[in-house]
Structure 1
Amino acid sequence: MKEDRVVTLLRKIRITRGKTQQEVANYCNISQSCYSRYELGIRKVKDYSVAERISEFLGTSVSKILPYMADYEKHLTEDDT
């Protein structure tokens, strides 16, 4: 999946859920400008705990909104078994 599609998906899910960037940012304990950079593709989410919080707030999985983190998510799941 191309990066621009990831960005579009992240924004689309947020808007579909009726949430603002500020609401997502507040839930994740990050600034609105930081979250905006994620949506614009200027910055990648590097902290998995932030990725988890974003996906939790938006009611989806980390691998769906941030597929580049799927390997990390899989690794965490394997460690639980």
Structure 2
Amino acid sequence: MENEELANRLKQCRTERGLTQNEVAIFCDITEKAYQNYERNRREPKLSILVRIADFYGVSLDYLVGRTDQKC
């Protein structure tokens, strides 16, 4: 799996908002371990989960995966 940009942006969005991994996981209805794996680039989220994460952070999917530097 080679999506280091997704992992970096997930962590960046979370830390900018002062959130814990568990808080994001609860909103997205996933386990904290699953979210940790996304931030560590060990696993990639399903599209439906990625959409929930993007909605939670108020950013576009393209931003999360590194296709653009514009958040919205």
Tell me which interval the TM-score lies in, with the shorter structure as reference length: 0.7 to 0.9
Q: 1:11-30, aligned counterparts within 5 Å?
A: 11-30=11-30
Unaligned runs of 5+ in 2: 68-72
CA distance in 2, matches of 1:52, 1:34: 15
Unaligned runs of 5+ in 1: 69-81
Identity %: 33
1:4 to partner: Cα distance: 2.1
- 2:34 equivalent in structure 1: 34
> Which 4+ residue blocks in structure 1 deviate beyond 6 angstroms?
none
1:36 to partner: Cα distance: 0.4
Give the number of the structure whose residues are more often helix, by fraction. 1
CA distance in 1, matches of 2:60, 2:19: 17
How big is each residue's C-alpha offset from its partner over 1:21-79, in whole Å with a ceiling of 9 and x where there is no partner? Answer: 11110011100000000000000112x221111011111111211358xxxxxxxxxxx
Higher RCO, 1 vs 2 (CA within 8 Å, ≥6 residues apart): 2
Q: 1:1-80, aligned counterparts within 5 Å?
A: 3-46=3-46, 48-67=47-66
Note the aligned Cα RMSD (angstroms).
Answer: 1.7
Q: TM-score, normalised by structure 2?
A: 0.79
CA distance in 2, matches of 1:49, 1:67: 18
CA distance in 1, matches of 2:66, 2:29: 22
Q: Which has the larger radius of gyration?
A: 1
